[in-house]
Amino acid sequence: MKVTLSVIKADIGGWVGHSSSHPEVMGKATEMLEVAKKRSFLIDYRVLACGDDLQLIMTHDRGEEDEQVHKLAWDVFWAGTDVAKKLKLYGAGQDLLTDAFSGNIRGAGPGVAEMALEERPSEPVIIFMADKTSAGAWNLPFYKMFADPFNTAGLVIAESLHKGFAFEIQDVKAHKKITLNSPDEIYDMLMFLGAPSRYAVKRVYSRATGAIGAVSSTERLAEIAGRYVGKDDPVLVVRCQGDFPAVGEVLEPFGHSFIVEGWMRGSHHGPLMPVAFKDANPSRFDGPPRVIAAGFQLANGLLVGPRDLFDDPAFEPARQEANTLASALRRHGPFEPHRLPLEEMEYTTMAGIMKRLGQRWEPL
C-alpha cells in the first residue's frame, strides 16, 4: 500500500516568548485535523510541538506536494494564528509569510518533509523535530546514521545495508542539488555536509533497492523571506529497520551533543540537546536548541504511536554534555565562536554602526 507521510510545521506563536506552544493552539489544530480524518481525507494525524513550533503529522493517499493537503495545513496554521492572536501569544503568525495560499505551502514559510512510501509488512519510522536551529543541523546525524560504520553497525554486518546509501544534498543559497553516493564518495560529500549553513541533506535513498530512507525540511526561512523571520527549526523523517538502519542506529547520533547554529536570536552556536517531549521548551538564553524524536509504526497509514524515544535515561549523559557545552559557550558572550560569523547572524546592527562610524575609520 502506498502511503504518504506529510510533516508540516510552523511557528505561529510562542508561549511564553519563543519558548513553547500553547495547548489551545494545539487543540485548535487537533480539532481541524480530526474533521479531516472523519471525512476520510486524512488516514491519520498527530499534533505535536517542539518549543514554539507546531507540528502537523499527517498520513494520506494523495502523494507528495498535494495541493489539498498543503491547503489543509495552511488553514490550520491560520486558524491557530487566530487563537494565538486572541491570547496575544508572542509572534502570532510569525512563519506565515503571505495571506494568500498559492497552491503549495513550500516557500510560504512553514517547513515541509514528505515521503510517499510503499508500506512494508512492518514500517517503523522516527520523526525528529528541532527548535532553535536550522536545516543543516541534520547533516551530522544524517551522515552518522547512513554512512558511518562507527555509528551504524549494519553498514558493515548487515547484507541489506552493505551497498550504502545515496545522499541528495541541496545548496540552499544557490538553489541547486547534487546526489552523492556513500561509501564511495564520502570525502567529497563531507566537504559539503561540513558546511551546514549552506548545504543540507534533503533525502537519502537505499542503494540496494532505490527506496527512500529519509527526508528533511530544508526550507531556509531567511532565504525565502529575504530577511530574518525566525530559525527554520527543521524536521527529519527516517524509516528504520530492514533495509534501513535500526531504530537504535538512527537514535545513536544523538548519544552525544553536538554544536549547531541557532539559539538566541538565531545568531549563536549552541549544543543540540535530545529531550523528552515534556522538556522541549527551550528557555535558558532561549535554548539551548532541542530535538525530540517521535517513533511510530505505520499500520495501513494509521500512526501507531508516538513513542517518546528520547525519554530514556540512556540520553541523560548527552543532556549533561549539552549543558556543559552550553555553559562553556555562554562564557564567550558576544564573541565568536559562540556568536555566529558576521554573514550568518540572523540579527545584526552592523549596517547602522558602519553608517555612524564609517567616517572615523582611517586607512592603516
Share of the chain residues as helix, strand and coil, in percent rounded to the nearest 5: 30, 30, 40
When CB distances are held under 5 to 8 angstroms depending on the partner's kind, the choice from ligand F6R, Mg ion, none that residue 95 binds is none
Residue 97 or 178 with smaller CB distance to ligand F6R: 97
Would you state the cell numbers that stand for residue 243, as one nine-digit string?
A: 533495509
Annotated catalytic residue within 66, 163, 228, 311 = 228
132 binds ligand F6R, rule: CB under 6 A: yes
C-alpha torsion sign, points 325, 328, 334, 338: negative
Helices 186-193 & 139-147 angle (0-180, nearest 10): 160
Q: Quick check: is 231 catalytic? A: yes
* 153 exposure class (CB count in 10 Å sphere: 0-12, 13-18, 19+): middle
Binder of Mg ion out of 44, 95, 131, 168 (CB under 5 A): 131
DSSP 344: G
14 binds Mg ion, rule: CB under 5 A: yes
When CB distances are held under 5 to 8 angstroms depending on the partner's kind, the choice from ligand F6R, Mg ion, none that residue 344 binds is none
219 binds ligand F6R, rule: CB under 6 A: no
Give, in order, the Cα–Cα distances in Å from 148 to each of 151, 153, 195, 205, 345: 5, 8, 18, 15, 31
Q: Specify the pairing of strand 290-299 against strand 123-131.
A: antiparallel
Enclosing H/E stretch for 222: helix 221-225
339 binds ligand F6R, rule: CB under 6 A: no
Give, in order, the Cα–Cα distances in Å from 151 to each of 147, 253, 295: 8, 7, 19
Q: Which of positions 234-293 make contact with ligand F6R (CB under 6 A)?
A: 262, 264-266, 286
Annotated catalytic residue within 52, 231, 243, 308 = 231
When CB distances are held under 5 to 8 angstroms depending on the partner's kind, the choice from Mg ion, ligand F6R, none that residue 53 binds is Mg ion
When CB distances are held under 5 to 8 angstroms depending on the partner's kind, the choice from Mg ion, ligand F6R, none that residue 264 binds is ligand F6R
Annotated catalytic residue within 11, 95, 148, 233 = 11
Minimum distance from CB of 143 to ligand F6R (Å)?
24
Residues that bind ligand F6R (CB under 6 A): 17-18, 91, 132, 230-231, 262, 264-266, 286
Task: Return residues touching Mg ion (CB under 5 A).
Answer: 11, 14, 18, 51-53, 91, 131, 233
